[in-house]
Amino acid sequence: MSTVVETKEFQTEIRQLLDIVIHSLYTEREIFLRELISNAADAMGKLHYIQLTSPDVKDKDLALEIFIDTDDNAHTLTISDTGIGMSKEELVENLGTIAHSGSKEFIKHLTAKGDQKDLNLIGQFGVGFYSAFMVADKVTLHTRSYQQEGESLVWESDGVGSYTISKGEDQARGTKMVLHLKEDAYEFAKEETVQRVIKQYSSFVPYPVTVNGTKVNTVDALWTKNKNEITGDEYNEFYKFIANAHEEPLFRLHFSSDAPLNINTLLFVPKDNFEQFGFGRTEPGVSLYCKKVLIQEKSQAVLPEWLRFLRGVMDSEELPLNISRETMQDSALVSKLNKVVTGRFLKFLEGQATSEPEKYKEFWEKFNQFLKEGAANDFTHRKELLKLLQFESSNSKAGELISLADYVGRMKDDQTVIYYVNGPSREVIESGPYLEAFRDKGLEVIYTYAAIDDYIFGAIGEYEGKRLVSADEADLKLDNEEKVRSEQSLSEEDVQALTSWLKEVLGSKVTEVRESKRLVDSPAVVFSPYGTNSMQRMMQLMNKDMNNVGPSVLEINAAHPMIKRMDIARKNEDSFAKTAAEQLFENAQIAAGLIADPRGMVNRLNEILERALG
């Protein structure tokens, strides 16, 4: 065998490229292993294509595999493949020069700008190869072309200025890279480190990958398969693998799309929402792949923030990536990807709500906070999200949920408004005074238990052309509201005098006191000047002074016995009348769920008890 060794200088652009790759391009050094495995997979993909068109291939019965061997004593990492291999000319072209003039110009432009992270050369064979020099001070590459007349060659370099090419011992088709590791990269000669990196980035490479004889990519890339060929158990095992979960998922969505983008997507909804349990904010759980190679783990860009509870994968061959495969350049394309997948998932949920209402109810109870967050903030998908919102109502049983569409479908013919009311629970809402007029008129009211519900309804304003109105709005006008004053009511003159007196007694606690057209059974009710009581409750929670409730509007029921007795006490100038007036107001605040200072109330209640006991 000839021992002639040829020494060649790296092209100037390659030296620039090496400097960029080694010193500033990759944020994580372990990415080099993903790049080299991807190159090996590309080499075998090319060979597979050639095998389909030409039977004249060396070692045609040799299986397509990737072998990785670690030597912790020699501090070497070896990566072998049975792919297409390289000839001498290809070694020079692929590893010593940048063959395409456009790429040369790009590097010149890049160097002139001083911005080395915009390099968009992914997919050019050999570029990812240079990442080996981030961890190795010498790389020895043994290769044999697939062509029958090919020869075994050895390429070697320290990645500085030159490389050598010599003939090697006869070997099978393919390429073997030996990385002589730098002292600060010895960890990559440890089997456990290599296995961890492969499982993170290259678990779904479409060829077997073995580390020291043990296959490590044991899970198939299910998202690339036809869903009719996949069993439920296979889906569940895949979910447990990618989500590090022990339970089966609640929902799964598997779809492929050709337009407007080529996407393969497999999404899962977990059984539990850990944010609900107080474990802190959930991290996004959908990873982005390109041709089965991990591009971004738990990507924050490919789905809206409110879908962070999802787990799964998205794979698109159309993603423009920078050289390190770590950053997506085309924000418009990513936005389109985001919109397509989000739209498909929302359509899927809408179908589940119809076809599997009980299962959807289980999903809603655990994950509704995310859909509400989306409805509040995501204008692009708000219309679809509103269809998915579900609530209890005055016409439903406890625990029975309805959608806005259900409500609209059973509205009265002359009803033009969707009514809702907020409270901490069904019991509190139904024991309060705000539903009295609605019960009297047979109008359904949606019950909301979270402050964000009121925010959403206030933000959207209407649904299907019907205005959304809170039942505890101070200036609410009910449809066809014409309340006839009861014969048992105080006279209008007495009401005028009583409301003026109450305004004087309560002072800055109220902005207005007036006769109610809505009350049926309760003596009084308060309304927030901030729009709704739930809005006022939210403002109180944000206010450090929890007792600072702010002024309210007080309405009195002029036909209620308590109000009539209070008017008598007022006329008689009974000193107790003021005590009763203050207690009436605070009782109404309690019924509204507004926080009041309990200290004055306790003393007042003791006075009332003392008087009642004689």
DSSP 332: H
Q: Give the residue from 215, 237, 257 where a domain finishes.
A: 215
**Residue 24 token pair:** 């500033």
Which CATH number goes with the domain that contains 605?
Answer: 1.20.120.790
Residue 49 predicted with pLDDT over 70: yes
Q: What is the pLDDT of residue 546?
A: 47
Percent of the chain surpassing pLDDT 90:
52
Q: How confident is the model at residue 537 (pLDDT cuts 50, 70, 90)?
A: low
Q: What is the pLDDT of residue 487?
A: 78
Which CATH number goes with the domain that contains 447?
Answer: 3.40.50.11260
With a CB cutoff of 8 Å and minimum separation 6, the contacts of 345 are: 253, 267, 307, 310
Query: Partners of 419 in the beta sheet?
Result: 445, 469
Q: How confident is the model at residue 608 (pLDDT cuts 50, 70, 90)?
A: confident
Expressed as residue numbers, the domain containing 287 is 222-363
Q: What is the pLDDT of residues 67-108, one digit of tens each?
A: 999 999 999 999 999 999 999 999 988 888 764 433 454 455
Q: What is the pLDDT of residue 115?
A: 47
Q: What is the pLDDT of residues 550-598, one digit of tens each?
A: 688 999 999 999 999 999 999 999 988 999 999 999 888 888 777 656 6
Q: 177: closest CA among 321, 76, 74?
A: 76
Same domain? For 347 and 239 the reply is yes
**Residue 77 token pair:** 């990492």
> How many whole angstroms separate alpha carbon 592 and alpha carbon 597?
14
Q: Give the residue from 215, 247, 262 where a domain finishes.
A: 215
Domain membership of residue 174 (yes or no) is yes
Domain membership of residue 375 (yes or no) is no
DSSP string, 156-197: EE-SSSEEEEEE-----SEEEEEEEE-GGGGGGGSHHHHHHH
Q: Give the residue from 345, 363, 381 where a domain finishes.
A: 363
Which amino acid appears at position 561 of this protein?
P
Read off the pLDDT of each residue in 10-23 and give the average, rounded to a whole number.
79
Which CATH number goes with the domain that contains 226?
Answer: 3.30.230.80
> How many whole angstroms separate alpha carbon 140 and alpha carbon 157?
7
Q: 420: closest CA among 386, 467, 474?
A: 467
Q: What is the pLDDT of residues 104-142, one digit of tens each?
A: 544 554 455 454 443 333 333 345 788 899 999 999 999
Same domain? For 237 and 102 the reply is no
Q: Which residue has the tokens 């219309």?
A: 383
Q: How confident is the model at residue 533 (pLDDT cuts 50, 70, 90)?
A: low
Is the CB of residue 6 less than 8 Å from the CB of residue 165? yes
Same domain? For 88 and 206 the reply is yes
Same domain? For 124 and 206 the reply is yes
Domain membership of residue 542 (yes or no) is yes
Same domain? For 461 and 544 the reply is no
Domain membership of residue 373 (yes or no) is no
pTM: 0.75
Read off the pLDDT of each residue in 497-506 and give the average, rounded to a whole number.
95
Same domain? For 402 and 528 the reply is no
Q: How confident is the model at residue 539 (pLDDT cuts 50, 70, 90)?
A: low
> How many whole angstroms separate alpha carbon 298 and alpha carbon 260?
23
Q: What is the Rg, in whole angstroms, of the alpha carbon atoms belonging to the chain?
A: 36
> How many whole angstroms separate alpha carbon 101 and alpha carbon 107?
10
Please report how many Cα atoms fall inside a 13 Å half-sphere around the Cα of residue 348, on the Cβ side: 16
Domain membership of residue 522 (yes or no) is yes
Domain membership of residue 371 (yes or no) is no
Read off the pLDDT of each residue in 494-523 and give the average, rounded to a whole number.
92
The greatest distance separating any two alpha carbons of the chain, rounded to the nearest whole angstrom, comes to: 125
Read off the pLDDT of each residue in 60-69 and give the average, rounded to a whole number.
94
Q: What is the pLDDT of residue 120?
A: 34
Same domain? For 14 and 114 the reply is yes
Same domain? For 75 and 158 the reply is yes
Same domain? For 201 and 251 the reply is no
The size of the chain, in residues, is 614
> How many whole angstroms separate alpha carbon 445 and alpha carbon 438?
8
> How many whole angstroms separate alpha carbon 64 and alpha carbon 81?
7
> How many whole angstroms separate alpha carbon 470 and alpha carbon 233?
47
346-357 in b/e form (b: 16+ CB < 10 A) is: bebbbebbeeee
> How many whole angstroms separate alpha carbon 574 and alpha carbon 317?
84
Q: What is the pLDDT of residue 409?
A: 95
Query: Partners of 321 in the beta sheet?
Result: 328
524-527 sheet: strands from edge to edge: 510-515, 552-556, 524-527
Which CATH number goes with the domain that contains 167?
Answer: 3.30.565.10
Same domain? For 445 and 535 the reply is no
Is the CB of residue 523 less than 8 Å from the CB of residue 556? yes
Is the CB of residue 140 less than 8 Å from the CB of residue 178? yes
- Structurally, the chain folds into a number of domains equal to 4
440-463 in b/e form (b: 16+ CB < 10 A) is: eeebbbbbbeeebbbbbbbebeeb
Q: 177: closest CA among 265, 250, 79, 108?
A: 79
Domain membership of residue 487 (yes or no) is no
Same domain? For 27 and 172 the reply is yes
Residue 501 predicted with pLDDT over 90: yes
Report the C-alpha dihedral over residues 88, 91, 92, 94, rounded to 10 degrees. Answer: 150
Q: What is the pLDDT of residue 16?
A: 79
- Decide: residue 494, CB within 10 A, 0-12 exposed, 13-18 middle, 19+ buried: middle
Q: What is the pLDDT of residues 244-302, one digit of tens each?
A: 889 999 999 999 988 777 899 999 999 998 887 777 888 899 998 888 888 888 888 88
Higher pLDDT, 24 or 5: 5
Domain membership of residue 370 (yes or no) is no
Same domain? For 232 and 211 the reply is no
With a CB cutoff of 8 Å and minimum separation 6, the contacts of 573 are: none
Please report how many Cα atoms fall inside a 13 Å half-sphere around the Cα of residue 403, on the Cβ side: 18
Q: What is the pLDDT of residues 464-486, one digit of tens each?
A: 999 999 988 877 877 555 556 77
Q: What is the pLDDT of residue 341?
A: 94
